[in-house]
Copies of this chain bind each other. A is one copy, B any other.
Amino acid sequence: MLTKSAVPDAKTPRTERGRRTLRKLFDAAAEEFGEKGFHEASVSSITRRAGVALGSFYTYFDSKEALFRALVQDMSERVKLVAIQGVEKIETKGNATSVDKEVAAFSSFLDFAREFAEIYQIIDESKFVAPDCYRKHYETTATRIFERLCKGIERGDLREGLSEGHAWAMMGMAVFLGLRYAVWARDGDRIDMIPDLTRDILQHGIARPLPEDIRRR
């Protein structure tokens, strides 16, 4: 389950057995942090879950926080990959507009958040446990979105004047729709409509176009 990305907060095991133990700890921690949150989770219950001795924890991680950071970075990387794959997939189909691509990125994220709702919360909790990780995650993500927006402007299917702020706004939409429809999903929610909803907003905003709007252009 670990991504290949460098996770500097974990020590690199040299043996195969070591790699297995590290993996077990990582997975156990993801579950534990996801279920209980950072502060309620305890090192001993992580090791118990992983089926290794308490002391072994410190063979692989310098501290509880170091493991958490490693997890956040791993999650961040995976969220990034998921979104990129979502975009690439639609690009291969050809004819995709920039809005299509953003919707695809968003949909992939939403699917991911639904599948790993609890674990996903780890990223949010990093705001209070490892703020630098949190900030880095969202800044990186915003930058990536903004770069796509810039390309869209170049291609001509996005409006001029889109700025980094637009990227943050879009990211906020995605996160809160994810919160509402992935983490807090209710029976009866029409989750399949959410991507269209996003597309709508990106395409037209929420206002009814006024006659002047039409005439203006």
Contact = CB atoms under 8 A, between A and B. Distances in A.
Interface in A24-82: 37-39
A206 B176 contact: no
Contact of A163 (B142, B159, B169, B197): B197
A96 interface: no
Interface string A102-122: 100000000000000000010
A2 interface: no
A162 interface: yes
A91 B99 CA distance: 34
Contact of A149 (B181, B194, B204, B206): B206
Given A125-B127, A204-B205, A204-B213, 10 more contacts: A99-B207, A124-B128, A128-B128, A135-B184, A166-B197, A166-B201, A168-B181, A169-B197, A173-B173, A214-B217
Interface of A: 37-39, 97-99, 102, 121, 124-125, 127-128, 135, 138, 142, 149, 156-163, 165-166, 168-177, 179-181, 184, 193-194, 197-198, 200-210, 213-214, 217
